Amino acid sequence: MDDYITTISGVHFTIMDPKPEDIRIEDIAHALSLMTRANGHLPQFYSVAQHCIACYYEAQTRNYDQRVVLACLLHDASEAYLSDLTRPVKKNMTIYQQVEKQIQDMIYIKYLGAGLSKHEAELVSSVDDAELYYEFLNLKKEELMKQPPILVRSHDYPVRDMKEVEDEFLSCFESAGGIRS
């Protein structure tokens, strides 16, 4: 068996030797819309794409610049190629972290023109952590942190049609200035 995955658009994406031209926003939107958060341990389906869209809107509401808003939408994009791992698992898998960083940086370079600065990464992380906290609080009634993070935009967590989520992800991408290539 060859060392690649075949994406929904037919690209043979080689995980250990990724190429920027093999990254497609349509593949990312499709895969993330079908991938569940929390490794499926939620009382209902809530996708990684829904989480990314929520992060996008939170960053907009915080009046972050368009680059950070787009980075919030794309912050889990590497999972379209690798899968979503829960934080307790991921933190113990060094090789996964290295490959994820390589692919995620490549995605940022392709769609943002460069990787994130330390400050931008901190802003993205604060949005991601806030969304994670409130997803677990609202969907599982579980508080993941002693001090609740700030979330300036409230929203609900409905079960949504996957194609609708995929289309919204692509719409957010374009609204934030992302260019399909």
pLDDT in tens, 132-143: 999 999 999 999
Residue 163 located in a structural domain: yes
pLDDT attached to residue 27: 98
pLDDT attached to residue 178: 83
The low-confidence residues of the chain, meaning pLDDT below 50, are none
pLDDT attached to residue 85: 80
pLDDT attached to residue 177: 87
pLDDT attached to residue 95: 87
Owning domain of residue 44:
5-175
H/E stretch holding 18 reads none
User: What's CA 124's distance to the chain center, in Å?
Assistant: 11
CA 21 to CA 156: how far, in whole Å? 36
How many domains in the chain?
A: 1
Residue 53 has which token pair? 């869209």
Residue 180 located in a structural domain: no
Residue 181 located in a structural domain: no
3 state SS of 5: strand
Question: Is the full-model pTM beyond 0.85?
Answer: yes
pLDDT attached to residue 32: 98
Positive or negative CA dihedral for 83, 35, 141, 172?
positive
**CATH assignment at residue 93:** 1.10.3210.10
φ/ψ (deg, to 5) at 49: -65, -40
pLDDT attached to residue 1: 56
